[in-house]
């Protein structure tokens, strides 16, 4: 029986059409002239006009569906798709071109200018000296004492110039050490830092700031006691004024450090210490070059310069290195394409903070000895000075311990595991929960 599209509409009578076109014997009709046997044809799609009409109706149905979805004909859809894809390709080519002028169109140039201004402001207090002190005699003492020379380099020459900012950021760093060590011990601090979010961390920062004022007063008293032989008239009024100025200078440096951190261009503490070291670097390089020229040791000078650049390259390489742990999400699709995701862990997540903590802790015996005048600490101070017998091994142990502690203070594997579980994410081949926390802890540790 022959049927047509006019008799059976696809949208209404599609089952009737299929019944009309059904053939009970899946064979092709024999050739009328050749007289051959019928050929087995399993689909039963012979020269039947029914299927010719069905093919046309199916094309019409497909076109209607495409118009309902895309708002146009299939041809126009293909054309728009090809046009959009070509535009996307052209856009990607245009994005690869770099225009240096684009750098000055965003907010980044303004942030850099603010950063440079704040760093320059942090150096002003170094050049405002305390009054009533024989700075020439004290400068000669710094040249003789290697430990004071190291602290002077750490403060950017502030100790040698006896500026009101000679304490620098050191009191704030000491306060950070104490507060971070107290976080696991005091439940209230741990709850603020790890469970209260940004508001809790701001509260901990406020406590750290208050503690830094106390450390600044203590260190200012120790510095004045050390400077007493070089003071022209050591009176209580002069001591009170000097302590106030030194504490104020440290508070201003701490405030500038927080403002630098708010710019999101790096840690304010690290940038201020970097600025101090860099400001001291030209004088150190000048002395090294002058000594090499005097001794006619140009080979040693070239070796020092090469070692310097290799060391800087190695530090930057390790600092920027990270380990990527792949993670899978229960549902993470965009346009039908699965997105790759990973959990980044920096190889050196603690940065230079362990070195800062270690240096501050090594300076503690010397500060206590200056403050109390105890002669029993003399041997310990000599041994812990740069070049002393205990300086290098103690420094290595302290850096390792602070690196371990500071890393886990910043990143708690149990919290990371819980966040991944709440987001429906998991590490391949690792069960969510405690197993994930153990895996992350092993990655961070080793």
Per-position DSSP letters for 137-191, written without gaps between them: HHHHHHHH-HHHHHHHHHTTSHHHHTBTTTTTTHHHHHHHHHHHHHTTT-HHHHH
SS3 35: coil
The rounded distance, in Å, linking the Cα atoms of 348 and 50 is: 73
Q: Note whether 253 and 245 are within 8 A (CB).
A: no
The rounded distance, in Å, linking the Cα atoms of 233 and 429 is: 73
Q: How far apart are the first and last CA of the chain?
A: 79
pLDDT value, residue 99 = 63
CA-to-CA separations, 215 to 86, 164, 218, 223, in angstroms, rounded: 64, 15, 5, 12
Ranges 148-162, 342-356, 411-425: which has the least confidence: 148-162
The single residue listed with the structure tokens 């750490």 is: 154
pLDDT value, residue 86 = 40
SS3 211: helix
Residue 60: how many CB atoms within 10 A of its CB?
Answer: 13
Domains and CATH numbers, the chain: 1-31+40-68 (no CATH), 108-306 (1.10.3370.10), 323-446 (no CATH)
pLDDT tens readout for residues 48-91: 444 445 455 555 655 655 555 444 444 444 444 444 444 443 34
Q: Note whether 408 and 444 are within 8 A (CB).
A: yes
Q: Note whether 122 and 157 are within 8 A (CB).
A: no
Regarding pTM above 0.75, the answer is: no
Q: Radius of gyration of the chain from Cα atoms?
A: 38
- Whether the pLDDT of residue 256 is over 90: the answer is yes
Report, as an integer, the average pLDDT of 230-249.
Answer: 90
């Amino acid at each position: 029986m022959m049927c047509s599209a006019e008799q059976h509409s696809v949208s209404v009578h599609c089952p009737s059409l299929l019944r009309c076109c059904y053939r009970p014997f899946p064979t092709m009709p024999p050739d009328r002239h050749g007289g051959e046997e019928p050929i087995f044809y399993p689909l039963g799609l012979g020269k039947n006009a029914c299927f010719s009409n069905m093919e046309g109706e199916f094309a019409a149905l497909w076109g209607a569906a495409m118009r309902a979805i895309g708002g146009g004909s299939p041809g126009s859809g293909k054309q728009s798709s090809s046009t959009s894809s070509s535009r996307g390709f052209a856009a990607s080519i245009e994005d690869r071109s770099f225009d240096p002028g684009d750098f000055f169109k965003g907010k980044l140039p303004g942030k850099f200018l603010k950063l440079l201004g704040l760093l320059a402001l942090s150096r002003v207090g170094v050049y405002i000296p305390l009054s009533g002190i024989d700075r020439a005699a004290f400068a000669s003492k710094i040249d003789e004492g290697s430990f004071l020379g190291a602290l002077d380099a750490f403060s950017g020459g502030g100790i040698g110039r006896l500026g009101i900012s000679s304490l620098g950021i050191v009191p704030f760093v000491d306060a950070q050490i104490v507060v971070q060590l107290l976080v696991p011990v005091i439940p209230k601090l741990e709850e603020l830092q790890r469970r209260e979010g940004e508001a809790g961390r701001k509260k901990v920062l406020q406590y750290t700031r208050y503690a830094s004022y106390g450390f600044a007063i203590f260190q200012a008293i120790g510095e004045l006691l050390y400077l007493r032989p070089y003071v022209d008239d050591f009176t209580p009024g002069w001591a009170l004024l000097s302590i106030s100025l030194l504490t104020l200078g440290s508070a201003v440096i701490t405030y500038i450090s927080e403002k630098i951190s708010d710019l999101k261009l790096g840690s304010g503490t690290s940038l201020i210490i970097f600025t101090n070291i860099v400001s001291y670097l030209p004088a150190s390089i000048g002395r090294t070059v002058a000594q090499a020229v005097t001794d006619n040791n140009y080979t040693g000078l070239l070796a020092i310069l090469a070692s310097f650049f290799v060391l800087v390259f190695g530090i930057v390489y390790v600092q920027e290195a990270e380990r990527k742990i792949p993670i899978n999400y229960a549902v993470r699709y965009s346009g039908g394409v699965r997105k790759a995701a990973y959990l980044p862990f920096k190889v050196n997540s603690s940065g230079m903070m362990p070195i800062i903590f270690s240096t501050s802790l090594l300076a503690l015996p010397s500060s206590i000895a200056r403050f109390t005048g105890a002669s029993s600490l003399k041997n310990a101070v000599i041994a812990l000075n740069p070049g002393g017998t205990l300086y290098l091994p103690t420094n290595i142990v302290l850096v390792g311990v602070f690196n371990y502690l500071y890393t886990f203070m910043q990143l708690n594997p149990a919290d990371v595991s819980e966040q991944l579980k709440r987001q429906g994410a998991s590490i391949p081949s690792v069960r969510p929960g405690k197993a994930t926390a153990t895996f992350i802890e092993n990655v961070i540790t080793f």
